[in-house]
Amino acid sequence: MLKLDRKLEKLETSVRHMGRQVIEQHKNCEVLFEHPEKSLARQVMHNDEIINNYETNINEQAIADIVLLRPIATDLRRVIVAIKIASDLERIGDYAKSMAKFVIKNLDNPATLKILKEASFIQQRLVKMLEDIMIAYKQKDVSLAYEIPTQDKELEALLQDFRKIVIKNNVADLEDAFNLSALYRTIGRSSDHAVNICEHIVYLCKGIQYDFDKEE
Amino acid sequence: MEDIKFEVKHLNLYYGDFQALKDLNINIKANRVTALIGPSGCGKSTFLRTLNRMNDLVDGVKITGEINMDGKNILSDKINTIDLRTKVGMVFQKPNPFPMSIYDNIAYGPRCQGVKDKKILDEIVESSLKAAALWDDVKDRLNKNALGMSGGQQQRLCIARAIAMKPEVILMDEPTSALDPIATQKIEELIDILKKDYTILIVTHSMQQASRVSDDTAFFLLGEIVEFDSTLNIFSNPKNKKTEEYITGRFG
């Protein structure tokens, strides 16, 4: 095994660890939506720092690999894709932090918490999508990377339903309604970044830039 | 649409019983730098030498196929190889200046062609040395022996000597493998400037050199061209697994 192979394997392992950490955060958010409580929410907010450190570390590794080992062709794509996936994972991690913040803010707001429960099902779908993505990345499975974005479409539809629930429940407080809409947007944005990662995996495997937004 | 300088069709070359080139088909574009890469013994230097018929000098060589240069088959018996080699100059791995003055090194070729006028020779020497980015280094010591120059300067002198013949094509067989990094960089810069006026083919064992200096790259393996494409495609997304293995150092 070449030194370059070992370094790239290490780099991708770091990205996978980072992915696992991000998934853990979103799983905790799913729990929080179902059973809101302060200490877990605090923990999620605190752990965001770990994810940020992962991204910094991955960028440093990637720069060292480029400078010292001069990767080309597939090797170079592996480095570029590691940087890009880490960047999207970091954003997805940020959204988990926002969700935890939202829970803390609304702990004494039973009307909001009741609707929040409805979101845990959607959040579960997001977690499943992230898990599938990390499998596609690990196995460099391009057909899986092509399939996953349909989950984003389904999730988008569920979010529309959630919006209707918010309206139907006739949230009295306008601020609560705004906050809830901001929350469901964080789930939607996380899913958008997840789709970006699918594009990076396609680029990694095939060397072509694919845009899932332009599909339809 | 770029002009095609060499159109190679079904080129086969044998050294005795050994087939060194196998059915090569490739179009070399004019005013571009084409890099020939591949492991030792893959035929890239042999191919380079067919372009100015240097292989004619090898005993027992047999060549079939066509190489059309500007529409004329240069493998034909009717081709005057001296004229051909004037048009298709060559620079070798080790700098090989003649053991004479810098001036005489450059003037040697034109003199052989019958140029006697001192003024014209002076002009050729100056313009050739300028084209090879050597003029400023040596203008005050044109009568000094060329063998006293540094390796990098000697190699640029060899390029100037080739340019003095007003060639259309310059073939370079590992032109920097005997040079230090600074001299190498100067030659690479020079290649980039020279391609405006000449078609350049370069054999190199350095993948980084191939990617830095060339526009197109041909990967040779066991006498065949495995892949020929733009250098960007070869080094970013090669189509052939063997190409990728070779350029990334995983070969064999």
Distance from A75 to chain B by nearest Cα, in Å?
8
CB B102 within 8 A of CB B142: yes
CB A70 within 8 A of CB A62: no
* CB pair distance less than 8 Å for B235 and A72: yes
Task: Flag residues of chain B having pLDDT under 70.
Answer: 1, 252
Neighbours of B110 (CB within 10 A): 20
* CB pair distance less than 8 Å for B208 and A73: no
Domain that holds residue B222: 4-247
CB A130 within 8 A of CB A92: yes
Which CATH number describes the domain made up of A3-214?
1.20.58.220
* CB pair distance less than 8 Å for B247 and A72: yes
Neighbours of A207 (CB within 10 A): 15
Give the span between the Cα atoms of A178 and B216, in whole angstroms. 58
State residue A165's pLDDT score. Answer: 81
Distance from A66 to chain B by nearest Cα, in Å?
13
- Contact residues, chain B, for A2 at CB < 8 Å: 249-250
By C-alpha distance, which of B9, B88, B4 is closest to B51?
A: B88
Examine the pLDDT at A216 and tell me if it is beyond 60.
Answer: no
pLDDT in tens, B108-153: 999 999 999 999 999 999 999 999 999 999 999 999 999 999 999 9
Q: Provide the sign of the torsion angle of the four alpha carbons A192, A195, A200, A57, taken in this order.
A: positive
**Which pLDDT band, with edges at 50, 70 and 90, does A171 fall under?**
low
- Contact residues, chain B, for A6 at CB < 8 Å: none
pLDDT in tens, A125-157: 999 999 999 999 999 999 999 999 999 999 999
| A77 to chain B: closest CA residue | B236
pLDDT in tens, A86-122: 999 999 999 999 999 999 999 998 888 988 998 999 9
By C-alpha distance, which of B215, B236, B212, B239 is closest to B225?
A: B239
Examine the pLDDT at A172 and tell me if it is beyond 70.
Answer: no
* CB pair distance less than 8 Å for A73 and B247: yes
By C-alpha distance, which of A98, A100, A99, A90 is closest to A42?
A: A100
Give the span between the Cα atoms of A13 and B232, in whole angstroms. 29
State residue B252's pLDDT score. Answer: 67
* CB pair distance less than 8 Å for B248 and A73: yes
Question: What residues contact B17, with CB distance under 8 A and at least 6 apart?
Answer: none
pTM passes above 0.90: no
- Contact residues, chain B, for A76 at CB < 8 Å: 236
**Which pLDDT band, with edges at 50, 70 and 90, does A50 fall under?**
very high
Percentage, residues of chain A above pLDDT 70: 98
B interface toward A at CB cutoff 8 Å?
207-208, 211, 235-238, 244, 247-250
**Which pLDDT band, with edges at 50, 70 and 90, does A173 fall under?**
confident
State residue A175's pLDDT score. Answer: 78
Examine the pLDDT at A167 and tell me if it is beyond 90.
Answer: no
Mean predicted lDDT score pLDDT of chain A: 93
* CB pair distance less than 8 Å for A72 and B249: no
**Which pLDDT band, with edges at 50, 70 and 90, does A179 fall under?**
confident
Residue B74 lies in a domain: yes
State residue A40's pLDDT score. Answer: 97
* CB pair distance less than 8 Å for A207 and B208: no
Give the span between the Cα atoms of A21 and A27, in whole angstroms. 10
In the 3-class helix/strand/coil scheme, how is chain B assigned residue by residue? CCCEEEEEEEEEEEECCEEEEEEEEEEEECCCEEEEECCCCCCHHHHHHHCCCHHHHCCCEEEEEEEEECCEECCCCCCCHHHHHHHEEEECCCCCCCCCEHHHHHHHHHHHCCCCCHHHHHHHHHHHHHHCCCHHHHCCCCCCEHHHCCHHHHHHHHHHHHHCCCCCEEEEECCCCCCCHHHHHHHHHHHHHHCCCCEEEEECCCHHHHHHHCCEEEEEECCEEEEEEEHHHHHHCCCCHHHHHHHCCCCC
Q: What was the ipTM of the complex prediction?
A: 0.75
CB B209 within 8 A of CB B176: yes
DSSP of chain A, one letter per residue? Answer: --HHHHHHHHHHHHHHHHHHHHHHHHHHHHHHHHS--HHHHHHHHHHHHHHHHHHHHHHHHHHHHHHHH---HHHHHHHHHHHHHHHHHHHHHHHHHHHHHHHHHTTT-HHHHHHHHHHHHHHHHHHHHHHHHHHHHHHT-HHHHHHTHHHHHHHHHHHHHHHHHHHHTT-S-HHHHHHHHHHHHHHHHHHHHHHHHHHHHHHHHHS----GGG--
State residue A162's pLDDT score. Answer: 85
Which tokens sit at A20? 């696992």
State residue A114's pLDDT score. Answer: 87
| B250 to chain A: closest CA residue | A2
N-terminal to C-terminal alpha carbon distance within chain B: 38
- Partner-chain residue, chosen from B235, B236, B250, that has the shortest CB–CB distance to A2: B250
- Contact residues, chain A, for B250 at CB < 8 Å: 2
* CB pair distance less than 8 Å for B248 and A75: yes
State residue B251's pLDDT score. Answer: 80
Residue type, A113: L
A interface toward B at CB cutoff 8 Å?
2, 4, 70-76, 207
| pLDDT mean over A188-207 | 96
Number of domains in chain B: 1
By C-alpha distance, which of B241, B250, B215, B236 is closest to B5?
A: B215
Per the DSSP assignment, residues forming a β-bridge with B217 are B35, B229
| B240 to chain A: closest CA residue | A73
State residue B1's pLDDT score. Answer: 55
By C-alpha distance, which of B10, B94, B11 is closest to B50?
A: B11
CA B134 centroid distance within chain: 19
Residue type, B205: H
Q: What is the largest CA-CA distance in chain A?
A: 64
**In whole angstroms, how large is the CA radius of gyration of chain B?**
18
Residue B252 lies in a domain: no
Measured in degrees and rounded to the nearest 5, phi and psi for residue B28 equal: -95, 120
CB B190 within 8 A of CB B133: yes
- Contact residues, chain A, for B248 at CB < 8 Å: 4, 71-75
| A78 to chain B: closest CA residue | B236
Q: B174: phi > 0 → left, psi -120 to 50 → alpha, else beta; which?
A: left
Where residue B211 sits, what CATH number does that domain have? 3.40.50.300
CA angle A140-A71-A53, nearest 5°? 70
**Which pLDDT band, with edges at 50, 70 and 90, does A213 fall under?**
confident
Distance from B211 to chain A by nearest Cα, in Å?
10
